[in-house]
Structures are given as structure tokens and as C-alpha cells.
Amino acid sequence: MDFNFTEEQDMVRAGLSRLVREQYDWETRRKAIASSAGWRPEVWAQLAELGILGMPFSEADGGFGGGAVDAMVIMQEFGKGLVVEPFIPTVVCAGGFLKHGGTAAQKEEHIGGIVAGSAVFAFAYAEPRGRFDYADLETTAAKDGAGYVLNGHKAVVIGAPWASHLIVTARTGGARRDRDGVSVFVVAKDAAGITTRDYVTVDGRRASEVYFENVALPADALIGEEGAGLALIELVTDEAIAALCAEACGAMKVAHAMTVEYSRQRKQFGVPIGSFQVLQHRMVDMYTAYEQALSLTYLATLRLGSDERARKQAVSAAKVGVGQAARLIGQEAVQIHGGNGVTDEYAIGHFFKRLTIFDSEFGNVDHHLKRHVSLG
Amino acid sequence: MDFNFTEEQDMVRAGLSRLVREQYDWETRRKAIASSAGWRPEVWAQLAELGILGMPFSEADGGFGGGAVDAMVIMQEFGKGLVVEPFIPTVVCAGGFLKHGGTAAQKEEHIGGIVAGSAVFAFAYAEPRGRFDYADLETTAAKDGAGYVLNGHKAVVIGAPWASHLIVTARTGGARRDRDGVSVFVVAKDAAGITTRDYVTVDGRRASEVYFENVALPADALIGEEGAGLALIELVTDEAIAALCAEACGAMKVAHAMTVEYSRQRKQFGVPIGSFQVLQHRMVDMYTAYEQALSLTYLATLRLGSDERARKQAVSAAKVGVGQAARLIGQEAVQIHGGNGVTDEYAIGHFFKRLTIFDSEFGNVDHHLKRHVSLG
Amino acid sequence: MNLEFTAEEQAFRDEVRAFIAENYPKHLADFGMREDMEREDFLAWHKILGKKGWSVPAWPTEYGGTGWTPTQRYIWSEENARASTVMPLPFGVSMVGPVIYTFGNAEQKAKHLPGIVSGDVWWCQGYSEPGAGSDLASLKTTAVRDGDHYIINGQKTWTTLAQHADWGFFLCRTDPTAKQQEGISFILVDMKTPGVEVKPIKLLDGGYEVNETWLTDVRVPVENLVGQENKGWTYAKFLLAHERSGIAGVARSKRGIEKLREIAANESLDGAPLIKDFDFAKKVSQLEIDLAALEITELRTLAGEQAGKGPGPESSILKIKGTEIQQRLTELTLEAVGTYGAPYMGGVSNDNGSNEFPVGPDYATHAAATYFNMRKTSIYGGSNEIQRNIITKMILGL
Amino acid sequence: MNLEFTAEEQAFRDEVRAFIAENYPKHLADFGMREDMEREDFLAWHKILGKKGWSVPAWPTEYGGTGWTPTQRYIWSEENARASTVMPLPFGVSMVGPVIYTFGNAEQKAKHLPGIVSGDVWWCQGYSEPGAGSDLASLKTTAVRDGDHYIINGQKTWTTLAQHADWGFFLCRTDPTAKQQEGISFILVDMKTPGVEVKPIKLLDGGYEVNETWLTDVRVPVENLVGQENKGWTYAKFLLAHERSGIAGVARSKRGIEKLREIAANESLDGAPLIKDFDFAKKVSQLEIDLAALEITELRTLAGEQAGKGPGPESSILKIKGTEIQQRLTELTLEAVGTYGAPYMGGVSNDNGSNEFPVGPDYATHAAATYFNMRKTSIYGGSNEIQRNIITKMILGL
């Protein structure tokens, strides 16, 4: 057992920490998310330059040989600045599908673009009535000669407005909610028959409703085996959850620190509110929740390579524990900030909103507690 | 709508309050529960004399024409003193079965004894593997001529060591856990074939394991209709739950008051611990929980005569809310009492123990939350 | 003791229900968030009730109150919640009105009460100041006597819906040498007076329901002082206790739970309606149980008030539990809508597309914003921490 | 960063597991509550470990420590919990031992450490006093110098298992004029010295594991003073931090959850095993999740210690979360046993019958008593409120 980071990981953390501090300050972020683009492509290019986008790929695939721990380090730092750029959809999700399910040709075609920052992905899996079940699909990919024809509607596809490519899940067989018959495809977003409706999300990101109308997919758009995509989706989304938990940990750490600092500055009844024991103990409980959440994030990250049951248990444990901590810390941070906590002006409200939406991504607390029980 | 007590109810409360204060003080109670009898028959006789045991019976049945609200007032006062005498098994349960299901002859035979204090009842419904399901019965009453033969084992029958009579639930038909086929019987505890094993309970009461071996029951031992007893049991146990909630409210009120008083007296770091804001707010939360529990107890009590669904909803709501409050108040009271809270010497630990066992009587929080959902 | 309505009460309920059905403006039925509303939308029902004589039920009858029993007032709330009406705002009806009829002089009563009853005059509240929050007594806004006027200078914040207000009631320091809670006065200000400036504050849900209000050399006639100079703290506390007693919001939360059940019946989980999921249904049941408890607690408090006790520190319980329930309700509603909680429906424009019409089902549109918005309820009106301090002192006696 | 054991660590685990299997006393396997145990039962495994050289793993090797890595110590705890061994008591091993080898002189080390290592000497702790609780600094017991002796007078309470103790370590006030935390000394007392009197305290579970200890003119040689006179508070704090780091009890709670699962597999609900009830299973899962988090938190703390940081304020988290989990575990166990949680298995006799042999299943016997007993864990060792005060000050810097 070893809880140390490598020297390289420490360097990545320090570098990103500096980048977020110096180039992703609060006002800059505020302008970026209100701009028509809604993100900062120049930051994305810089991340490519720094090697961040290639970190978790093997050297053979054109990356830098990192792994899940590196993704964790990266996402923690992004979480601290509420960075909106789509590292998880592009590097963790699309990268994950390519790494675990892609053919040599698919890797060849896409990973280089991801590493270089030229290919940006979004992961279109959710559907209007599917909730958190990856197999509850109304989107279909019907066999058509060697290829497929894709039809359907994907909901709240995070980062899609910025994406050049989409990873899409669709049913190639079986009935709705069957484990079998789910397949995964990669498709250029400008393919004929794809339309999107873009919008802002409450936590300051961008997303789209994506509609597929008779989109022709070549045979090599299929990632992994036809109809056997669910296990692959579960693996990749578990990796995404671990990264997402790391992001939430970064956000919680800052939200807690901001709250403690606010309590030191803000006076009421002639003394700093941080001198009230009730608020002190609540900030201690926030701190404890953060530390426990961080531990579960480590556990999930380090178990991603374990056998399926151990991996799922650890990932669900993390999504539950981090989700509960995110709720506690977000709500308490706002409460302790008082009236200022519910304004748009103070940063804390934005951390609260991001930590709120976190719970609904890739399954909420209830969903993962159920999954944990089912593995018991 | 009316939230006032009648003058008579106020008098009953005042009288019992005095009785508990003057004759059921802590040292007297401690000796009584450690004695071989384990209760105070002389107090029981006094309750009969005061008319308390006859309060909820109609005048036609030899009682004083009171109802559920009267039982609530009585049990609140008993709860304040952790009175162990079996008012609920005798008056609420046995009394309830007789009132709602008894023939004129059965009422004639038994109610007089209850009112006079000469007949003491226990309610034998729980079984070793039945948990909170009144229909999950292994005890059987097989038809035998005009009567029945009773066989089985009833678990943790509260007050049985003191009882002259038992109300027993048994299966007269159907399969284990069927709603149909459950019947209710009244039987003298000294009937041939009944053996008991008596013991002390952790909350200072007495209970028995009761074994029935070919106990011959006459036809008129049956209360209500053969095989249709479950609805009657649900009605009577709902009445018992309302009374039990009232008892818990009495106990919580005292536990809270003791804790506030302790916090005023007890000094740490040179000041009363009641001056620490963290403890203040926790005592406020205890107070709030108590008030909410009391409201739910009112609601349950006042809904006992409503239609079945409204009655069950209100009773389950009360058992859930009072159970949660009992847990919070019991645990916090001990915690705020510190080391003294976990000693046998201080009264608070005994309130905590009673409030703990309360949850497991007639279905715990989970059980009643489920029932509430099922009525949704 | 009983929970049944008498025949008279049942008749009253039928009367109220019929009146609402016949008179409530159709275009405001089941209205969503307040920030979408125009000034006239807020006032429409109020004005109708004013004409009917039902706009200020809790007031003494001599000033326009209805003389209803607590049970009738309970029925009134229930029926309005049932119909999701836009009720009269509290600033006039529940706050300044009771202060004026209790502590004001005859002229003030004659001048100000009718406009509150009729709904013609919109009031706002100038209590909080930047940097003060729940610590009202530390306020810095000053009112200096200058002949038959006060000159008011200072800054107020969290002035709810002041953008629509005709009049405001302000706490001002009239004796700068007095200690904390002394030397404060309760003064009525015409919001059109020169020097009054209202600036909107954007909240984290994207809406603008509160403001900062600057007062710069605002000249106010001395007859706008309510009660005695330097005794404003007494009136302020009276008002806060009144404010709290309405804050439980039981009937509204009941209606909110109904809506939540409708949403959860539409959403699906594992191929079945979400409301059939035991886990989710249990949370709804728990909320209903806590709300049922609060309802009885409020009725007990009302019964106590009827028996001659004014709204006491018990109302702090109503504030704490009422707001906790409202917050859990909105949180659970956001949870129910699932993925479609994320799209933002505020006014931010986006070159690439939309936010112009709802994404996902209608009921999901405001779920996140409402949840975010309702975080305020445990902060305003004396934060829930302040309420616990009040109970500590007034009820526990510590 | 990784969670895998190296080949060496796996070999170590096998060695430990084999050693326990071969050497752990059979009659103490899966032992229930401590109060049933005799002195020799408490010490049996300790003595075996003492001979093996494994009784004080965390100590420096020169005094008998094993020099194990944190991972090895983790494996050691895991394996002992797996076998439900009766581990050496903390009073010597984790409390006074580290104080003596850190602050004691050569004679003290030579005299006292071997007895702790071997398990021959039983220590008890004299910190708390009646009316003081977690406020250790307010203590009143005095030690007055009289030639080459101290004369100790005072009363200690909560002296755990002092009924078996050979020696005790006591905090005494040696400078009555000094402020609160100054003027306190750390003194070792032979419990057989005249004037030492131990009286059992009955706890709410019916057991007797703590005592009141009276000290009346107890003459103790000055060489029993550890470190410097009046500097005892430093050693006391050092000891408390050490005590906390072991208090998480992760491995034991893991075993407890396994037992809970076994019980819930035996109990039934609606005709199926209780563990198949989603509601109940969810509570078990939540406990496992919180415990998994705590396990990693503890391992991170241990890794930090290895990297040169002593047990710091982070150990307060281990105390808080560890005891919360232990309490919830025992509460859930009581819930699992259902109706049979009520019978009392203590020694109260009853003319009519029993309490002589178990009522209901064996596993139900101690469920209530254990739950009641474990309420102490959030009170002792510095209450959880005190731990939060420590984190407030030391980590949040408030």
C-alpha cells in the first residue's frame, strides 16, 4: 500500500494549480461562461501543450503513460477553479472508450486529436426518460448493410456545443432496458442528420439536446462488440465517476476554505461569526465530510483496475459519500455565507450550484446506494 | 377543530401528575423494579380507585365514558415517571379488543375486573420469528368441537408476569402471513397447558416467553369473528401505538427538561455547559423534535376514529416521528449528561433505555414508514 | 379535542372554495415563479380580496379584519394553497400593517391602512443592512431631526421586491449615543422621495427579487415616525414575531408535495413511475409526516393565540421547521426531475442556440432555480440560527 | 499510489494469520462482552504476544516495538479483528508506555516498560475527576511534596477496569497557584499503596467497567514523577493524541458489520431474510461506505505519520467518525434483533423465573447492552464536542 503521489504527479498538480490561479480567476471565468462560446478554447490549447490532455493515455497510444491517479490529480485542480472545459467527456469518457474498446485504427484516428486538443468529445448517453439506466435506451442503431442508421434523442449532453465528435450509446438489439443489445458508436458531430439545441446549464456549463435522424454510421463507427456495450459503458462511466468525484473534492475544498475565511472576516454582534461555536462545529463537520469524501475518491480511483465487483463497490461508495458531502458542504457554505451566499456575485453560490448538479451526473446518491446494496 | 382539553381531562392530568410526583419518585421506582414483583400492585389498586383504569370505557360497559384523548393524557403522565404498570396491555389492548370485538357476555365478564383493577392483562401477539407482522403466526388454534386447541410460543409478552389473563393471537386457518385466518382469544393465564418464563427487560419492565401446549379454549374465548381478526388487531394496536406515543412524549419531555437543568448546573471550563452555543442549539433541536412528536401524537389520537386509511396514516406518521424524536432526544440527553449519562445512578439513562425500546414496540420507524408509503 | 370541522366550518370552506373558483384570475392559475410576474400580477388577487373584505383576515375587524376563528383562517390558507393562488405579499399585510394599527396614531392608521387593505399601495421592508445580516441591532442608517423632518442617510439591503414599492418602512438610528438596540426608530418612507435609490441584486438562481436601497439625504416628515422615537426596536421585534407566525407555509408545502407526487408519477425509474420507487416514495412520506407534525404544531400555536397568548417564541419553531420542509421539498423536486434539472432557464443568451423555450418537461423548468432560491428561507427573517438563539433564551431559559 | 499488498506484505499477512490461528487461546475465540471476562482472559493474548515480541508494535524497537510499516500494522489490526481476538488493553500499551519512553528517565523505562510489554502489569488511567469531564485542566487532586514523597489527595472517576490494576498514572496538581493547565504533574502510583480505594460504578447497561478511585494521603516516592514537575499537561496532551489515533476501531467495526450481516441473514422480515430487505440493507451499505472512507482516512493519517508527522489533530476525525460508526453499528444490531432486544441479560434476579439463560437467539443477548454501553465512546477520551473544538482551533485556525 502506498498513499504517495509520484514526483511527476506533484508537478502536474503544482502546474495546474498555478494555471487555475493565474489564468482562471473568478472574473475571467465569469466572463467566459457568459460569452457566446461559453468556454475558453485557448485554455484547452494550453492544456494540450502542457500534456494534460494526453496524460492518461499510454505512450503507445501517443500519450504520457499516466492513469486514473493522474486524472484524479487533474480533476481536483479543475474542481478548485470550477473549470468548465470538457476534460471528463473528452479525455476520460471518449479516451476511455477508445482505450478499452477501440480498435488500433480507431485509436490511431482519434487519440492523437484528443492529445493535441483538436478533437473535443461529448458523451451522449442520457435520454429524456432513461434516468440513470445506461440500458434504458430509445435511441436505435439499425443495421444497414455494413453500417448502421442512428435515430434518437439524447438529453443534456454536457459539452456538446463545444464538441467535434460524439460518443453515442444506442440499442442495436434487444428490448428497452435489456442488458444485451447496447452498442457504442463514435461519430463526428457534423455528420448529416445530427441537429443540436444548445443551452447553458445552471452550473455554468454548456450542453445540448442532440437529435439523430437517420444518421448513417460506417461499420467502423462501432466501438467494442455490437450489442455487448453495456459492460464497457459501465467501466468507462465508473472511471468518469472517479474523476467527477475528484472534481467535487476540489470544489468542496475551496468551498470549505472560502467559508472558513468568510467566517473570519464577517462580523455580527461585534465579533467574527467564526467565533460562534455552532458555526465552528458545522465547519468542522464540513471538513470531516470533505476528508471522508477525499478518502472515498482515492479508494474509487485505486480500485478502477480491480475486479468488477470491487470496482463497482468502490465507485458507488464514492458517488454516495461524495454526493452526501457535496450536499452538506454546498448547503452549509451558503448558509454560513448568509444573504451573500445566495447572490450571484459571491463565488460560493456557484460552487454550491456545481456541487448540486454533481449529484445528478452518472447516477445520484440513491442510485449508487442501490447499486452498492445489489453488490452486497 | 378544537385543541382544548376538557376540565375533566385537566383534572385527571393534575391528579396523575401528583401521584407520579409524590408516590412514584425515582428511588421508589428503582426499588420496585428491582423487587421480586417488579411492579407496584398497590399503585394499580389506587389507579382503579381513582377511576383511571375505567376511564376509556363507556358508561354502559361500566367505565367513565372517556376515550382516546383520555388515554393519551394518562399515558403522558405515566411516561413522565417511567411508570411500569401495564395500562396499555390491560386497558388499551385488552380493553380495546373487548370494546371493539367483544360480545356482551365477554364485556360483562372482563371489563368490570379491568375497571376494578382485579383483572390484569397481557397481549401475546409477537412470535420469535414474526417481527412486526401480526399475521406472521406460527401459533395455531385448531378447531376442536365447539372450542379450540391452542399451541405455540409467544415472545416478549410485556407485563405477562403480572397478568391474570392473556389476549392471544393465533392462526385458525390460512397459511403463515395470510391476512385471512387470524383469530383473537382471551384466556386465563392459569389455564392448563400454559407455561411462562419470566424475565426483566432492559427498560425495567417484566415480560415472559409464553408457551401454549394443547391449551383447551372454549368457543366463547374467541373475540370477534373467527379468521377475521387481523383488522381488529390493526385497530387495537393502532390505539395502543397512539397511547405508546403519548407515553414516549411524557418521557421525552422529562428527558429534555432534565438535560436543560443539568446543563444549567454542570460546569466545565468554569462555566455552565448550558452556556455553550453548540449544546444550546442541540437542546433546541430536542425541544423542537418533542413538540413535533407531540403534534403527531395528537394527530394519531384524534384520527383513531377516522376511516381506516386516515387512521393508519396518522398512526404510522406518529410512530415514525415519535420514534425519530425518541432516538434523537434519548441519545442527545445522554451525550449532554456526559459520563453521568451512561451510569445507572442518573435517571436520564433509564429514560434513554425506555425511549430505545419504545421503537421496537408494535413496529419500528422503518416498518411504519413502509406502511405510510403503502397507504400513499 | 378534535380535528373535525363543524357544519358551520364546512359551509365556510364551501363558500371560500366557491369564491376562489369564481373570482380568482384565470391567467394566474398555477403560476410558477414570482420573478416572472409583473406588478399587477402580484396585486390582482389582493385587490379582489380587498373588495370582498378578505385581504387582511388576521387584522382586528375595525381595520378590515374578518374576525375569523383560527380554524377559519386555516381553511382560508388551505383553500388558497389548493388553488395555488398568488397571495397578498406580507410586507403590508403581515408586517407594517400590524405595526401601524398597534403602535401608530390615528392619522397614520387612516392614511396607510386602507391602501394595504385594498392592495393599492405596495410596501417594502428596510431592515437589513450590508454587513449586518441577522444582527439588526447593529444598524448604521441614521435619521437626523431637522425641523419637522428627518434626514435619512444609509444603505439597506435585501429589500424584497422594492422595485415595485410605493412605500417602505425603515429602521433608522435616531440616537447615535444609545446602545445597540436602543436609539432606533421605525419610520415610513415614500419610495418616490428624492434620494431613495433602488438597485437590483442578482441572486444565484438568476432572478432579481431583492435589492439594495440607498438613502441619501432623504427628507421625511416627522409624522412618518411610528410610535415613539428611539423605541423602534420594540416594534421591530413585534413585527418579526408576526412575520414568523406566517412563515411555516404549511398549506403551500402541502400543495408542493402534491405537485411533487405528480412529477414523480410522470418520471420513470427502472421502467416504472418514480413514485413507485420505494426509496423515493419514502422520502416523500417522511416529508409528509414532518409536514403533518408542523401543521398540528401551527394549529396548536394558533389555538394558543386565540386563548389570548400573542405569537410567542414558539413561532421560531414554525420558522425553522417550515423552512426546512420547504427546502427539502424543493430539493426533492429537483431530484425528481433528474437530468433535466441541469438546463438553465434564465435570461442568459447564447449565440449557439436557445434557453428561449423549455428544455425537457415543463415541470423541470424551474426545479433547480427554485431549489437554489429557497436556500434564502433559512437565512432571511432572522436566520434559523437566530431562531435557535431565541428559543434558547426564551423557552429553555439558558 | 496503490492499495495492493506487495509480495512481502502478503507473506507477512500469512505469517500473522498463521500465528493467530496457532496461538490464540481457543476458549477466548469470538468472545462477547468484556464485563464477562476475568483478569486473566484480558491478559492471555497480551502475554503470548509479549513472548513473541508483538505486543507493542507501534513502540520504538529499542523498547520492544516491531518496527513494522504502517501497512504491516494495518495488516496486524485486520487479522486480529478477523479473528476477534481480545487485544492488549490500551492503558499500558498506548497510553502510559509512550509517555514513559518519550518523557521518562532511564530508571522509569527500565522499571515499567518490560511489564507493559510482557502483559504482567496492568495499568489504569487517573485523568477524569467528578464534575470535570472533558475539562481535564480543572482537576483538583493534589500532590504535595513531603521530603522524597508526594502526598496525593483527591478523587478520580471513570478509571476503566481499575479493579484489576497494578499501577495507575495520575494527573495531580502540584502547584495550586498556577493557572488551569499549568502546575499539573504526571505521577505513577502503585495501586496497592495504602489510601488508594477503588469503587465500582454501575453503568446503564448493568456492567461494571469503570470505577471511582479515591486517593487519601497516598504516599508516592518522588521518583514516580514522570518528566518535569508542573509539566504534566504536555504529557497528558501527548497521550490523548496517541489515544485517539487508535480509537477509530476500523478493523473491529468491519468484523462487527460481518456479524451484523450474519444476524440479519438469520432474522426474517415479511417471510424473507432481513438482510434482503432493501431498507435494512441500505443502512448496512451506508455504514460500510462510511467505514471504507474512515479506513482510507486512517491509512492516510498513518502514511502521514510515517512521513515524519506525529499523530496530529487529524486524529480527532478518526475519533469522531470511528465512534459514530461504532454507535450506529451497535444501534443497527439492536434493530436487527427486533423483539428479542428487550430481555435484560444482566444479573438481576427475579423470583418468578429467569434471566439465567438466554431468551431468544444467542446473538440477541447482548445487543441492547452493547448499544447502551457504546454511548460512552462519544463521551470518553475527550468528548466528540471537545474533538470538534480541537479541529476548530488546530485545523480551521478559528
- DSSP secondary structure string, B74-113? HHHHHHHTT--S-HIIIIIIIHHHHHHH--HHHHHHHHHH
- Residues of A engaging B, defined by a Cβ cutoff of 8 Å: 276-278, 280-281
Higher pLDDT, B300 or C34: B300
Identify which of C74, C278, C395 has the shortest CB distance to residue B287.
Answer: C395
pTM: 0.96
Cell 414496540 -> residue: B361
pLDDT tens-digit map of C110-166: 999 999 999 999 999 998 898 776 677 788 999 999 999 999 999 999 999 999 999
Average predicted confidence (pLDDT) for chain A: 96
Residues of C belonging to the active site: 243
d(CA D203, nearest CA chain A) in Å: 29
Q: B210 contacts in D (CB within 8 Å)?
A: none
Instruction: Kindly state the cell numbers that stand for D333.
Output: 444490531
- Cβ of residue A1 closer than 8 Å to a chain D Cβ: yes
pLDDT at D310: 63
Answer for the pair C152, C189: CB distance below 8 angstroms, yes or no. Answer: yes
Do the Cβ atoms of D293 and A293 come within 8 Å? yes
Residues 205-244, chain B, touching D (beta carbon < 8 A):
206-209
D243 counts as catalytic? yes
Identify which of C3, C289, C397 has the shortest CB distance to residue B320.
Answer: C289
For A161, the closest chain C residue by CA position comes to C352
Instruction: Kindly state the cell numbers that stand for A253.
Output: 475544498
- Separation of alpha carbons D107 and B48, rounded Å: 74
- Residues of B engaging A, defined by a Cβ cutoff of 8 Å: 276-278, 280-281
The closest of C176, C47, C158, C86 to C381, measured between CA atoms, is C158
pLDDT tens-digit map of D203-227: 998 888 899 999 999 999 999 999 9
Do the Cβ atoms of D296 and A296 come within 8 Å? yes
Band (pLDDT 50/70/90 cuts) for residue D36 is: low
Band (pLDDT 50/70/90 cuts) for residue B229 is: very high
For A345, the closest chain C residue by CA position comes to C202
Mean pLDDT lowest for which of A237-246, B130-139, C309-318, D95-104? Answer: C309-318
- Separation of alpha carbons D92 and A306, rounded Å: 40
Mean pLDDT lowest for which of A360-364, B71-75, C28-32? Answer: C28-32
pLDDT more than 70, % of chain A: 100
Do the Cβ atoms of D297 and A69 come within 8 Å? no
Average pLDDT of span B107-111: 97
Average pLDDT of span B152-176: 97
Burial (CB count within 10 angstroms: exposed 0-12, middle 13-18, buried 19+), residue C47:
middle
Do the Cβ atoms of A342 and C131 come within 8 Å? no
pLDDT tens-digit map of D272-325: 999 999 999 999 999 999 999 999 999 998 887 777 666 678 889 999 999 999
Q: A206 contacts in C (CB within 8 Å)?
A: 350, 352
pLDDT at D244: 63
- Cβ of residue C278 closer than 8 Å to a chain D Cβ: yes
pLDDT at D319: 93
- According to DSSP, the residues that pair with A309 across neighbouring strands are none
pLDDT tens-digit map of A87-127: 999 999 999 999 999 999 999 999 999 999 999 999 999 99
pLDDT at C311: 63
For C384, the closest chain B residue by CA position comes to B281
d(CA D329, nearest CA chain C) in Å: 22
d(CA D13, nearest CA chain A) in Å: 13
Interface pTM, i.e. ipTM? 0.96
Q: D282 contacts in C (CB within 8 Å)?
A: 279
Average pLDDT of span A47-52: 96
The closest of B117, B158, B111, B82 to B362, measured between CA atoms, is B158
d(CA A302, nearest CA chain D) in Å: 6
Do the Cβ atoms of B266 and D158 come within 8 Å? no
Cell 413585534 -> residue: C238
Cell 357476555 -> residue: B105
Do the Cβ atoms of B292 and C290 come within 8 Å? yes
Q: A38 contacts in C (CB within 8 Å)?
A: 350, 352
pLDDT more than 90, % of chain A: 97
Do the Cβ atoms of B281 and A276 come within 8 Å? no
pLDDT more than 70, % of chain B: 100
Q: C378 contacts in A (CB within 8 Å)?
A: 335
Do the Cβ atoms of D343 and B352 come within 8 Å? no
Cell 389492548 -> residue: B93
Identify which of B4, B277, B372 has the shortest CB distance to residue C289.
Answer: B372
pLDDT more than 90, % of chain C: 74
Identify which of B291, B301, B369 has the shortest CB distance to residue C286.
Answer: B369
d(CA D311, nearest CA chain B) in Å: 25
CB pairs under 8 A between A and B: 10
The closest of C216, C197, C199, C227 to C141, measured between CA atoms, is C216
Do the Cβ atoms of B342 and D375 come within 8 Å? yes
Do the Cβ atoms of B321 and C293 come within 8 Å? yes
Interface test with B, best of D352, D366, D388 (most B CBs within 10 A): D352
Q: Which chains are within 8 Å of D by 3+ CB pairs?
A: A, B, C
pLDDT more than 70, % of chain D: 93
Higher pLDDT, C348 or B364: B364
SS3 readout for chain A: CECCCCHHHHHHHHHHHHHHHHHCCHHHHHHHHHCCCCCCHHHHHHHHHCCCCCCCCCCCCCCCCCCHHHHHHHHHHHHHCCCCCCHHHHHHHHHHHHHHHCCHHHHHHHHHHHHHCCCCEEEECCCCCCCCCCCCCCCEEEEECCEEEEEEEEEEEECHHHCCEEEEEEECCCCCCCCCCEEEEEEECCCCCEEEEEEEECCCCEEEEEEEEEEEECHHHEECCCCEHHHHHHHHHHHHHHHHHHHHHHHHHHHHHHHHHHHHHCEECCEEHHHCHHHHHHHHHHHHHHHHHHHHHHHHHHCCCCCHHHHHHHHHHHHHHHHHHHHHHHHHHHHHHHHHHHECCCHHHHHHHHHHHHCCCCCCHHHHHHHHHHHC
- According to DSSP, the residues that pair with D273 across neighbouring strands are D268
Do the Cβ atoms of A353 and C204 come within 8 Å? yes
Average predicted confidence (pLDDT) for chain D: 91
pLDDT tens-digit map of D148-206: 999 999 999 999 999 999 999 999 999 988 887 889 999 999 999 999 999 999 999 88
The closest of D256, D247, D245, D248 to D82, measured between CA atoms, is D256
Q: Which of B324-338, D65-79, D125-139, D350-364 has the highest mean pLDDT?
A: B324-338
The closest of A135, A132, A124 to A172, measured between CA atoms, is A135
Helix residue ranges per DSSP H, chain D: 7-23, 39-52, 70-82, 90, 97-103, 106-118, 232-245, 250-266, 278-306, 315-337, 367-374, 384-394
Residues D243, D267, D298, D314: which is the catalytic one?
D243
d(CA A327, nearest CA chain C) in Å: 10
Check pLDDT > 50 for residue B15. Answer: yes
pLDDT tens-digit map of B284-327: 999 999 999 999 999 999 999 999 999 999 999 999 999 999 99
Answer for the pair C315, C390: CB distance below 8 angstroms, yes or no. Answer: no
pLDDT at D352: 46
Instruction: Kindly state the cell numbers that stand for D13.
Output: 499477512
- Cβ of residue C279 closer than 8 Å to a chain D Cβ: yes
Band (pLDDT 50/70/90 cuts) for residue A133 is: very high
Answer for the pair A297, A72: CB distance below 8 angstroms, yes or no. Answer: yes
Average pLDDT of span B260-285: 96
Interface test with B, best of C289, C301, C314, C319 (most B CBs within 10 A): C289
Do the Cβ atoms of A268 and C388 come within 8 Å? no
- Locate the DSSP E strands across C324-366: none
pLDDT more than 90, % of chain B: 97
pLDDT tens-digit map of A159-193: 999 999 999 999 999 999 999 999 999 999 999 99
- Cβ of residue C270 closer than 8 Å to a chain D Cβ: no
Identify which of A136, A335, A344 has the shortest CB distance to residue C202.
Answer: A344
For B48, B328, D128, D169, D389, the CA distances from D383, given in Å and listed in that order, are 47, 18, 12, 20, 10
d(CA C267, nearest CA chain B) in Å: 17
pLDDT at D348: 47
